[in-house]
Structure 1
Amino acid sequence: MASDLTRTTAPSLPADAPGRHSHRLGIIAVVATFGGLLFGYDTGVINGALEPLKEDLQLTSFTEGLVVSILIFGAAIGALIGGRMSDRFGRRHNILVLAIIFMIGTLGCVLSPTWEVLALFRFILGLAVGGASATVPVYLSEISPTERRGSVVSRNEVMIVVGQFAAFVINAIIFNIWGENENVWRFMLLVAVIPAIFLFAGMLRMPESPRWLMSQDRHDEALAVLLQVRSPERARAELEEVRALAEEEKLSQTGGAADLSVKWIRRLIFIGVGLGVFQQATGINSVMYYGTQLLGDAGFSSNAAIVANTLNGLFSVLGVLTGVALINRIDRRKMLIGGFTLTTTFHVLVGLSAFLLPDGTLKAYLILTFVVLFVFSMQATIGPLVWLMLSEIFPLKIRSFAIGVCIFALWIANAVVALLFPPVVAALGIGATFFIFAGLGVLALVFIKTQVPETRGRSLEELEDQFRRDYS
């Protein structure tokens, strides 16, 4: 949608010349993306904290999976609720509330005396993570000028993986300093309070979304916000564009469950859900949540595993940056097929290394190498591409409803993988577990070949016409 808006609306508007307003927009983007940073940190911090946490709270493989995955189940619910709340009360208001929930959830986790209490507060933290995933990108999109929207919104995706990388690095530092302390995992979790405080304090000084203000008929306030983040001429000219976008937003909320009676819409939602589920079936988040334990099982010592795991975070960041650079240069289907081919190949190589090599340094480092290459391949292709395609395949009328369904399915698949990974590894071992991921990768390739359309370089209207013809 953003690319079409750029072509059709930007030429009719005065150029947004650089000035103080550009600096203001940059500050707003930095502050708001602390929500993405928290998303990444809170989903990644459990990776290094889990080993001492298991010993302190005496977790079994099942309760370990439950403590990790319950945050993701909370995120699925938070994404559904967060979108509705931001529509009703405003994007800025919602981010402020989420910052408070991040703080409450983090402190509750840090002070938890039992795994049951920890699971409760991890669920609360998940509500904030899901709410941030639904609110922050919308806020950034709506406050950015059309021609900069893509680059500003993509900063949130980058901040998510930066947050995970930061969690891995901070875990390694804390563990190597205070690793003998049974409460070391609490220090790791406590660090998340700092960006939550920055997010709350920063958003107090940030404006509301001009599109949301227009949707509430608060035109003067919307213009005042635009004057903060645009040149004066551009702000006044853009007021009418924002009015039109607000009308589009109202239209986008008219679709709902009743539209599932239409065959071609059901088919598109099936494709969207499939993309979301197969993205998670790569097992990317089993590595992001359990990477330290995985490397420990591969043969690294506890200290070495938590340090080596930072490579997963580093290559995740490098992968996303590579994906952002490639995503508009390669056809979507080719990029998806290439991505799943690579990830499936590395799954097989991890499995073969675990089965065929004797325990020792060679085995440990080969598994580390193949896991890191898997993470890079996934984040450079499938990770960002699925999110982009979900924004492209649905017609405007059902977009909010359909994307909500697909993201909910994605979060649930994420949670199921997080819940099942520890007991499956405990029962079957690393090799068999990664062969299962490889099998799912083959199914994903069949799904893409037979079901997923090409969307690159085509307008949303053209795609909708094709879907009506092909799937009716």
Structure 2
Amino acid sequence: MTGGTASEQDNDTGGAQPRNGTALVVGASIIAAFGGLLFGYDTGVISAALLYIQPEFGLGDMMQQIVVSSILIGAVVGVIIGGPLADRLGRRNTLLGVTVLFTVATLGCALTPSTGLLVLSRGFLGVAIGISSLVVPSYIAEMSPPHRRGTLVSLHQFMVTVGILASYIVGYALSSAGSWRWMLGVATVPAVLMFFGLLGLPESPRWLLTHGRPEQARAVLARTRPADHVDAELAEIREAVQTEGRITYRDLLGPRYRRWISVGVAAAGSSQVVGVNAVIYYAPTILKNVGFGDTGAILASVGIGSLNVLFTIFALVFIDRLGRRPLILGGTAVVIGALILIGFLFTQPVQGTVAVLLILALVVYQSAFACSLGIAIWLVNSEIFPSSVRGKAGSFGIVTHWGLDLLVSISVLTLIDLFGGASGVFWLYAVLGACGLVYLYRWLPETKGRTLEQIESDLTARSAKHTHAG
């Protein structure tokens, strides 16, 4: 329990960690989290742009869904190839390549002359998003000391919400001119900033040690940890890394890891089956269909996105104080209640008081999601797995995230038509979310203030206990 004591000492003293080390860790986390900003902007901006792309290219419901979901098909591919790339090239170098792909694909979307090329460019953009969604949280987790890890890893989700809000604001600002190409093209700016920021960052100490560079790993830890913690953490990482490469995907589905794979998948799956991306991608379209004007529908999304950011800040402040379980489980329960209310409101004529209540319910839904399931997918999958299998094991949750995101995005308008309105769709999301909540209540571990290696030890013991009990 030495690592736990060290974490407590850091919390009590405000950190024996050198000030410049703290600045490096925070700076690296912020720069890496620009991947989340790009993720949020590129997925969110289509909600406003689609209102103008649809008439220009004459898109029906199915083609609209293909344009939206093409980025998610690419994201699934990105997650699949992202792990091996990051393991081979390093976290930092992989992210450098991702920023180049972000820039090229974004320009392709903005300059496209046809629907086909738009779909193709968004597919490549999705590859960049998928890779960054896997690598960014891992890089931040591996750079962070235990007592700050929850907050710093959650910066990724915070930047996702900032990106979504920025996309809504840009969409609203350009809505009067219908300039959807500029809406899409603005994302080149953060991609370029991220590229130059990454040039000054070190590689993850875990990756360096894994690839036979112990002195470089020690140097990074010496810059980011208290001096009396460096040797202990280096030893913990070395012990975990010794099993690297001996674990196969078949092993991950065996008794030792199966339970924790399922927790990562449940966290990722629950974050999608509550329909958050139906709101992010289609809120303006849905609101327009029930009587809002184009600009009014986009403006409503700006309000929703603003509170999304505020409540993510709330999660950042309290995730390492309250712990993971209270925020994730409590917020998910509120999400489910809001979905039930939204479904009911869509059964009523959407005007006057009902319209106001609908916007408020969407605000509550998005805000609760931001400080619960919104952070769960990235934080849980970056914490609960042993260092030696984190890349492979985490990919199960991330693939689940993008696969279900794709399923939601390509089906929401079709389901609305099938159910004869949006109410049935939101009630379906509520039922699926309740199933996820029950599972997470049973199995989600509390990981607040613990080293990644301590979490590994505890989960391995618990898994063995349940295996023997079975």
Q: Same fold (TM over 0.5)?
A: yes
User: Aligned match of 1:378 in 355, 359, 369?
Assistant: 369
CA 1:213–1:394 in 2, change beyond 3 Å: closer, same or farther?
A: closer
Letter in 2 for 1:423: T
Q: Give the corresponding residue for 1:403.
A: 394
Q: Does 1:214 align with 2:215?
A: no
Q: 2:255, 2:463 within 8 Å by CA — same for their partners in 1?
A: no
What is the deviation of 1:253? 4.8
**1:143 correspondence with 2:138:** no
Q: Is the 8 A contact 2:82 2:134 kept in 1?
A: yes
Contact 2:304 2:363 in 1 (8 A): yes
Match of 2:436 among 444, 449, 469: 444
Partner of 1:73: 73
Matching residue of 1:127: 127
Which consecutive residues of structure 2, in runs of 5 or more, have no partner in the other structure? none
Q: How does 1:57-456 map to 2 (within 5 A)?
A: 57-176=57-176, 178-179=177-178, 184-222=179-217, 225=220, 229-230=223-224, 234=227, 238=230, 241-242=233-234, 244-251=236-243, 253-259=245-251, 262-263=254-255, 265-328=257-320, 335-356=327-348, 358-395=349-386, 398-427=389-418, 428-448=420-440, 451-455=442-446
3-state secondary structure, aligned to 2:346: helix
Q: CA deviation at 1:290?
A: 1.4
Distance 2:328 2:23 in 1: 36
- In 2, Cα distance between the equivalents of 1:143 and 1:390? 16
Question: Quick one: distance in 1 between partners of 2:175 and 2:184?
Answer: 12
Contact 1:64 1:422 in 2 (8 A): no
CA distance in 1, matches of 2:247, 2:293: 53
- Cα offset for 1:72? 1.6
**Structure 1 position 185, deviation (Å):** 0.9
C-alpha contact (below 8 Å) 1:282/1:440 kept by paired residues: yes
Alpha-carbon distance in structure 1 between the residues aligned to 2:369 and 2:54:
29
TM-superposed CA distance for 1:230, in Å, is 4.5
| Residue-by-residue CA offset, 1:289-323 (whole Å, 9 max, x unaligned) | 11211222232111111111111211211222223
| Aligned equivalents of 1:239, 1:164: Cα separation in 2 | 41
Gap change, CA 1:28 and 1:400, over 3 Å in 2: closer
- 3-state DSSP of counterpart to 1:161: helix
Residues 114 and 338 of structure 1: is their aligned pair in 2 closer, same or farther, counting only changes over 3 Å?
A: same
Which of 446, 458, 462 in structure 2 is aligned with 1:462?
458
**C-alpha separation between the residues in 2 aligned to 1:187 and 1:212?**
38
Match of 1:175, SS?
coil
Q: Which moved more, 1:207-216 or 1:369-378?
A: 207-216
Query: Residue 26 and residue 351 in structure 1: after superposition, are their counterparts in 2 closer, same or farther (change >3 A)?
Result: closer
Letter in 2 for 1:104: V
Deviation at 1:220, TM superposition (A): 4.8
Q: Structure 1 stretches of 5 or more lacking a match?
A: none
State whether residues 394 and 464 of structure 1, in contact with CA within 8 Å, keep that contact through their aligned partners in structure 2.
no
Give the AA of the match of 1:189.
L
Return closer, same or farther for 1:191/1:392 CA change in 2, 3 Å cut-off.
Answer: closer
TM-score, normalisation: structure 1: 0.87
Does the 8 Å contact 2:47/2:284 carry over to 1? yes
Q: CA deviation at 1:76?
A: 2.0
SS of residue matched to 2:292: coil
Q: Tell me how many residue pairs correspond in the alignment.
A: 459
- Structure 1 residue 240: Cα displacement: 6.7
Distance 1:120-1:223 versus aligned 2 partners, 3 A rule: same
The amino acid of 2:211's aligned partner reads Q
What is the deviation of 1:415?
Answer: 1.0
- Structure 1 residues 359 and 279, CA, compared in 2 at 3 Å: closer, same or farther? closer
Please tell me whether the aligned partners of residues 99 and 196 of structure 1 are also in contact (alpha carbons under 8 angstroms). yes
| Cα distance in 1 for residues equivalent to 2:76 and 2:158 | 21
What amino acid is the match of 2:190?
P
Instruction: Report if the CA contact (8 A) 1:92-1:207 is conserved.
Output: yes
